[in-house]
Amino acid sequence: MAEKLYFDVRYNGGLISATANGMLGFFTAPDFKNRITAWIEPGVTGIHIDLKLLTHIDSAGIAVLLQTVRSCADQEIEFKLLNPPAALRTIFEKSGLTASLG
């Protein structure tokens, strides 16, 4: 079965809220990165991604999330991950990135 990742996206002022649904892994991480890159533009003040519907995340998915944290910080955009899986929460806590967890 091919990996799929879908987003339900809402815009409210400068805040982009998205719910990720599916698998965030080797095959879907590039699409995730491209979407975030497209969202980083003037006027965007925050990006919040709800992970409650993720069915799978692997090391490539974690890597793209870490890259996204840094990219948003560089652009002074608040980046939050909501409802992360327990394993992802542990990785972010050990990496000192808990501020990115909502």
Q: Name which CATH class applies to 5-100.
A: alpha beta
pTM over 0.75: yes
For residue 58, what pLDDT is reported?
87
Q: What are phi and psi of 9, to 5 degrees?
A: -110, 135
Tens-digit pLDDT profile for residues 38-62: 999 999 999 999 999 998 888 898 8
Judge whether 80 and 101 are in contact, CB under 8 Å.
yes
DSSP 11-68: EETTEEEEEEEEEESTTTHHHHHHHHHHH--TT--EEEEEEEEEEEE-HHHHHHHHHH
Question: How many beta carbons lie within 10 A of that of residue 36, not counting itself?
Answer: 21
